[in-house]
A and B are shown apart, each in its own frame.
Chain A
Amino acid sequence: DAGVTQSPTHLIKTRGQHVTLRCSPISGHKSVSWYQQVLGQGPQFIFQYYEKEERGRGNFPDRFSARQFPNYSSELNVNALLLGDSALYLCASSLYRGQETQYFGPGTRLLVL
């Protein structure tokens, strides 16, 4: 079975632009979480979606938004990009709402110039 997949793998944007990142969870998994990992730091929680509803939000500005589709895939949108948004964006899926057994994708590396 395929693991968590994310697209694109790499992305370069300029300040002020908008970006959409995509994630497909493991088949059968209903929960998707998004994390931001800045170089040299641990992942920081952004959102969790379960059964297509937002179930949790981390300390990120409203420029960050997400949604989950009926097939449980998910999009993360970031508006008005700042240099500080440069990071590895990770998607993780889990079978249910609990995140103790979540599985991560390879991430999307975003560079904002």
Chain B
Amino acid sequence: QKEVEQDPGPLSVPEGAIVSLNCTYSNSAFQYFMWYRQYSRKGPELLMYTYSSGNKEDGRFTAQVDKSSKYISLFIRDSQPSDSATYLCAMSAGTGGYQKVTFGIGTKLQVIP
């Protein structure tokens, strides 16, 4: 079983829709939860990070963490064609004095005009 599971998609939605992206994980030691956006042939771009459980909002993006269920989500409101990209979840736990970051496989999102 992978430490981080993420549906690779692709996920196609019409412009303006609310998008829900999710990851599950098995390592209860994970403390930081991040979401990255990666456009084709580019490096990942940090969107948001949260520590432990709870919600965090930034503009059209909302990140949720439920540690009891080992489940994290990213919601995108009023989705735009420019949001079309691969979305990577990532998690880190302190191990031996440093934080090893583990990524999901990424979900490919296409927003159709």
Interface residues of A (CB under 8 A from B): 4, 33, 40-45, 48, 50, 55-56, 58, 90, 97-107, 109
* Interface-located stretch among B43-51, B61-69, B71-79: B43-51
Give the docked Cα–Cα distance between A98 and B35 (Å).
16
Query: Given A42-B105, A100-B34, does the pair A90, B100 have CB atoms closer than 8 Å?
Result: no
Interface residue from B92, B96, B97, B103 paired with A43 (Cβ < 8 Å) = B103
Query: Given A58-B100, A99-B99, does the pair A90, B43 have CB atoms closer than 8 Å?
Result: yes
Give the docked Cα–Cα distance between A50 and B97 (Å).
11
Query: Given A55-B97, A106-B42, A106-B43, does the pair A45, B102 have CB atoms closer than 8 Å?
Result: yes
> Which 5 A/B pairs are nearest by Cβ-Cβ distance?
A42-B103, A104-B43, A100-B32, A56-B98, A55-B98
Question: By DSSP majority rule, is chain B's interface helix, strand, loop, or mixed?
Answer: strand
Say how far A11's CB is from chain B's closest CB, in angstroms.
15
Say how far A70's CB is from chain B's closest CB, in angstroms.
21
Interface residue from B97, B98, B104 paired with A42 (Cβ < 8 Å) = B104
Among B41, B96, B103, the one with the most A-chain Cβ atoms within 10 Å of its Cβ is B103
Query: Given A48-B98, A55-B97, A97-B98, does the pair A103, B46 have CB atoms closer than 8 Å?
Result: yes
Interface residue from A45, A48, A90 paired with B44 (Cβ < 8 Å) = A90
Interface residues of B (CB under 8 A from A): 4, 6, 8, 32, 34, 36, 41-46, 49, 51, 88, 90, 92, 95-106
Report yes or no: A42 in contact with B106, Cβ–Cβ below 8 A.
yes
Interface residue from A4, A50, A99, A109 paired with B101 (Cβ < 8 Å) = A99
Which residues on B sit within 8 Å (CB–CB) of A104? 36, 43-46
Which residues on A sit within 8 Å (CB–CB) of B92? 99-100
Query: Given A56-B95, A100-B34, A100-B92, does the pair A45, B46 have CB atoms closer than 8 Å?
Result: no
Closest A residue to B88 by beta carbon equals A42
Report yes or no: A100 in contact with B45, Cβ–Cβ below 8 A.
no
